[in-house]
Amino acid sequence: MPISRRALLAAAVLAAGCSGGGARPVELRLATGQVGGPYEGLGDRLAAELRREGMGVRVLRTAASVENLAMMADGRADVGFSLADSADDAVRVRRRPVSALARMYLNYVHLVVRQDSGVTEIGRLAGRAVAIGQHGSGTSVTALRVLAAARLDPAPQVVRLDLDGSVKALRSGGVEAFFWSGGVPTPALAALGDIRLVPLDSLVPVLRREFGPLYEDASVPAGAYGAAAPVPTVGTPSYLMCRTTLPEDVAHTITETLFRARDRLQAPTAPGGRLDERYAIGTGVVPLHPGAIRYYRSVYG
C-alpha cells in the first residue's frame, strides 16, 4: 500500500477520536432521501443486503442530507446518506457527532430549465423564481452556495420545494429553474424528456476558493436527459455516514457489506460509483468511524 494511503488511514484513526462503543441498535435505522432520488433506491438495496447479513433494518424516508445528519446526531437514525458539503458543515461548523463509513460516488449539480427556456447561463436567473430543494436537503445547501457564488443582481426569488414539487412548478411556470444534486441520470428527471441543464463550470473555482476541494469539475455526459453534448457542472461526493456512537462491530459489518455487495447496489454511474476502497477513504475533515477504518485496514493490510 502506498505510504500516502497508509498515512491517511493512520490520520483517520486519530481524527475519529472515539471508541464507537455506543449501544448496539436492535434495529438499524437507515436514513435515505426523497422519493425519486438516488438515495431512496440505493438505501433500499443496502437495507436488503444488510438484512441478508442478519441485521434488522428500518428505512427512514427523509429530505436527505441535512435532515439525515441531524437525525444521526440526536440519535433518531444510526446510518444515513449525505452530500459531502453538508457533512463537512455538520462536522467542521456545527460539531455534530457523526462519522463517515465511505465516500461513495460523485453527485452532479443539476440546474434544470425547460427545453424552450431562454436561460442559457446562470446569470439570466437574476430576479427570477428558482427552486433550491426541500428544507433539510443537501441540494438546498449546495444550491444556495452556487447562487451566492454567481452573485446575481437582483437576487433570485428562492423557493423551497422537493424534487416532485420542483418538477411541477417548472412545468406550470411557477419557477424558471430548479436545482437538484444527484447521480446521472436521476430517474425522476430522465422521465421528463423536455428539460435542459444549464452549465455551472465557471463557478467551480469560486466554490473551491471558499470551501475547498469539496467541489470539483464534473460533466454530465452527452445523451443524459437528451443533451447532444456534455454539460459541464459542479460535482460533490456523497458519503455514507453514521452516528459516532455506533458500535465498532456494527460499523465494520455495514462497511464490509457495502463493498461485498457493490455490484448489486447499483450506485449511480459516476466517479466512485463502483465503490472503490481507495476512493472511499477520502472524506476530508469528516472522520472515518473506527469500524470503517478496521475494514479498510483489512483490505490494505
Q: Is the pLDDT of residue 184 over 90?
A: no
Residue 252 has pLDDT above 90, yes or no: yes
Domain spanning 3-105+238-300, CATH class: alpha beta
pLDDT tens digits for range 111-146: 999 999 999 999 999 999 999 999 999 999 999 999
pLDDT at 269: 61
C-alpha cell at 38: 438516488
Q: Angle at Cα 49 formed by Cα 64 and Cα 242, nearest 5°?
A: 40
What pLDDT score does 118 carry? 96
Asked if residues 204 and 216 have their Cβ atoms less than 8 Å apart, the reply is: yes
Within 10 angstroms of residue 51's Cβ, the number of other Cβ atoms is: 12
Over residues 153-181, the pLDDT tens digits come to: 999 999 999 999 999 999 999 999 999 99
Would you give the DSSP letter of residue 288? B
Whole-number Cα distances in Å, 266 to 39, 100, 141: 11, 20, 26
- Percent of the chain residues topping a pLDDT of 90: 77
- What's the pTM? 0.89
Tell me which CATH homologous superfamily contains domain 107-236. Periplasmic binding protein-like II (3.40.190.10)
Which DSSP state fits 194?
Answer: S
Calculate the alpha carbon distances from 269 to 34, 106, 274, 292 in Å: 19, 9, 8, 24
pLDDT at 28 over 50: yes
Extents of the domains making up the chain: 3-105+238-300, 107-236
pLDDT tier at 275 (50, 70, 90 boundaries)?
Answer: confident
pLDDT in tens, 30-57: 999 988 888 999 999 999 999 999 999 9
Q: Are the folds of 3-105+238-300 and 107-236 the same?
A: yes
Is residue 80 a contact partner of residue 70, using CB atoms and an 8 Å limit? no
